Amino acid sequence: MKGIFVKRSKENLTQEMKEVILLAAQGETSTSSALILGYGCETVRYRLRCAIECLGAKNIINAVAIAVALRLIDFHHSEETNT
């Protein structure tokens, strides 16, 4: 028997999920995100999957677009501070 699917909402998006979505928006891979954040690669992938589910997205690209549209991540501000 499979587990019960519980739909999450954007309110349940954790700070860690926001971090990995932001790094994905900046073009980082799961491996590079893991090195930057000090997590294991599987942890980054897990948080990306959770974020996709929380946002009701189809994939990471869609999750980034939703997160930016909802102002959950500030892609433009983070780019300016990294240059």
Domain ranges of the chain: 14-81
Angle between helices 15-25 and 41-55 (to 10 degrees): 100
Q: What is the residue-level pLDDT of the chain in tens, covering all 83 positions?
A: 343 333 445 667 999 999 999 999 999 999 999 999 999 999 999 999 999 999 999 999 999 999 999 999 986 755 544 44
Among 8, 35, 27, 12, smallest CA distance to 75 is for: 27
Contact present, 62 and 56 (Cβ < 8 Å): no
For 14-81, CATH gives 1.10.10.10
